[in-house]
Structure 1
Amino acid sequence: MIVLDDIDRALIRALARDMTQSAGALGRAHGLSQPACWRRIKRLREAGVFRGARLDVNAEAMGFGVTVFLGVKLATKGRVSLEDFERVVSAIPEVQTVEHVLGAYDYRLRVVARDLSDFERVLRRRIMALPGVGNLDANVMLSEERRPGPL
């Protein structure tokens, strides 16, 4: 685990708001030279604090108006390996995240669809057809409030 000081935390918060900021601009905002700021960012990246830069795509603007969180309970864990299930479910384009969880379900999936009938098609033809799928529980997202920034 890396030891973070106040400047490291400030840089992480600033980059979480806008990853496109230059090291020069970040350095000026936090009292560092461009090279010193770049070295800190590089150290944070190499320590695994940043898992990469990611584009935040607005699914609704792309025509995907429905997001469903799907709880999946595997029928019999011995018949299909967890790795096999994760591999095949991750190959479905509408499945945005695959989370192995503890509780009533084995997996939590985030699925996007154009509308409810499109979700039904994905559910019936793709997800329910996967080997090992047992019980399912769907929760349709009504709204999403994001907490900006890192932990």
Structure 2
Amino acid sequence: MIELDEIDRRILLALARDATQSAGALGRRFGLSQPAMWRRIRRLQEAGAIKGRRLRLNAEALGFGVTVFLGVKLGRKGRASLSDFERAVSAIPEVQTVEHVLGLYDFRLRVVARDLPDFERVLRRRIMTLPGAGEVEANVLLSEERLPGPL
């Protein structure tokens, strides 16, 4: 685990809000030179505190108006391993996240689709045909009040 000082915490918060900020702009904001800011950011990356920078797309603006969370319970654990299912479901473009979870279901998936008929197609033709796919529970996202942020 990395030791974080107050400036490190503020840098992480600033980058979590907007990862496109330059080291020069961050340095001016926190009273550091650009090279000093780069050293801090590089140290945070090397320590694993920063895993990468991501571009967040607006699914709705791109024509994907439905988001569904699926709980998937594997039906034939003996014939299809967890990793086989995980690898296969990760290859489906509409599946945004794949989480192996503990509880009633084995996996939790975030799936985007153009509309409900499109989601039904993805579910029936892609997800339910995967090796080991068993019971599913679908929860349609109505609204997202809080977007993922810093820890």
TM-score bracket for the superposition, by shorter chain length: over 0.9
Equivalent in the alignment of 2:9: 9
Equivalent in the alignment of 1:137: 137
Counterpart mapping for 1:64-143 below 5 A: 64-143=64-143
SS at structure 1 position matched to 2:124: helix
- Unmatched runs of 5 consecutive residues or more in structure 1: none
The 3 A distance-change label for structure 1 pair 148 and 126 is: closer
Equivalent in the alignment of 2:36: 36
| Residue 148 (structure 1) shift | 5.6
Equivalent in the alignment of 1:58: 58
Q: Is the 8 A contact 1:16 1:148 kept in 2?
A: no
Q: Is the 8 A contact 2:70 2:110 kept in 1?
A: yes
CA distance in 2, matches of 1:43, 1:75: 45
Q: Is the 8 A contact 1:70 1:108 kept in 2?
A: yes
Greater Cα offset, 128-137 or 66-75: 128-137
| Residue 147 (structure 1) shift | 4.3
Percent identity over the alignment is: 77
Output the TM-score relative to the length of structure 2.
0.97
Give the count of matched residue pairs: 151
- Unmatched runs of 5 consecutive residues or more in structure 2: none
Counterpart mapping for 1:22-33 below 5 A: 22-33=22-33
Output the TM-score relative to the length of structure 1.
0.97
